[in-house]
Structure 1
């Protein structure tokens, strides 16, 4: 491993390591947690799930059946967390090791995002526990920018989650995709002050690196440490499908309408009672006056 490449041999990885492999001619990387025994737990798009965003899906690379490991491909219904053997995880790609606790200078020198972080990892046994727990309970809905395979691996290694769900997630790969055009946009007004295209390119590259560093999970301040057993309660990651969520929403609306109707009936009965009481009081006053 080094500044140019994090490529490793299979004999170099240990249980609890965050590993990844490049797909589609280095277009994007797919991440997972090596749990030992030639097995990897990783996060993919759910089977038969659709998305309005066109993006390479790592799930399409998974074989339907593994000839070596019978439990390869195991996943819970409506969950994107899957157990694969190392061969099926890599496909035809090479094996890379994700680095933790790197220095800021080392991080900035890595031009490609999604290869390292300044965050401190937890012990291997904790990492494996999180990965296996999420294999049974799910990791929410897959999202390219806010909840992808790298986000899954980063959480398993650190236990850190981003509080602001409206922005980019923990993934360095996603922040690189967003950071490049943002850097170009921010540097455009500076073109009038910087002589020559070389100066503009330098400023753009610097802004890109700084924006990527600012979104690193080891630097940003909008993250919290969350126990894996508490994720359902804190983030409402129940692993239910969209159909179940829609059914629940329809049921809630129906119950709301029923309660509204009951309230109207109660109000009508109360109004009739008040009207009758007023008549009785009026009759009593008339009799007393006579």
Structure 2
């Protein structure tokens, strides 16, 4: 991975990877755990609305568009991407038209400080893929509480799955 970008291709994905996709011209990123076979477990407010102001502006400005127009659900996921909470969806619905990036674990302190954008790597080491799947599966079945932009979001879910 580079200091400027963690962009990867789908062919580089491995089950247990913490992935993300930038939304709204790099204002924020949506994070998830790749579980294989084109599926991602992630945490959402529903219909791609991972960020919000609590006003009508959410719908007009901040909500990312679902990858499938209203009334035309994803042939693979159905209406799951419109649900709120911890969900498992196809990678296309997760990306919502954005590019794919890999979150890095166990980076050196100098590399961490040199990164251009925050929220793309951590000094913490990752658990084994088996532990990551166990955590992600538990949260998929039991949830992680209510979505909150700063205290309980998709990045928190992914980091928890990777580090326990």
TM-score by length of 2: 0.83
Task: Say whether the 8 Å CA contact 1:66–1:72 is kept in structure 2.
Answer: yes
Aligned 1:134-283 pairs, distance under 5 A: 134-159=139-164
Unaligned runs of 5+ in 1: 160-290
Unaligned runs of 5+ in 2: none
Q: Which residue of 2 aligns with 1:44?
A: 44
How many residues align? The count is 154
Task: Say whether the 8 Å CA contact 1:72–1:84 is kept in structure 2.
Answer: no
Q: Which residue of 1 aligns with 2:28?
A: 28
Residues 114-161 of structure 1: per-residue CA shift (max 9 Å, x gap): 1000001100111011112111111101111111110110001001xx
Task: Say whether the 8 Å CA contact 2:67–2:97 is kept in structure 1.
Answer: no
The alignment's C-alpha RMSD in Å is 2.4
Runs (4 or more) in structure 1 with deviation over 6 Å come to none
TM-score by length of 1: 0.49
Residues 187-243 of structure 1: per-residue CA shift (max 9 Å, x gap): xxxxxxxxxxxxxxxxxxxxxxxxxxxxxxxxxxxxxxxxxxxxxxxxxxxxxxxxx
Aligned 1:83-98 pairs, distance under 5 A: 83-98=88-103
Larger radius of gyration: 1
Task: Say whether the 8 Å CA contact 2:46–2:81 is kept in structure 1.
Answer: no
By relative contact order (CA 8 Å, sep 6+), the higher-ranking structure is 2
Deviation at 1:74, TM superposition (A): 7.3
> Larger strand proportion, structure 1 or 2?
2
> Larger helix proportion, structure 1 or 2?
1
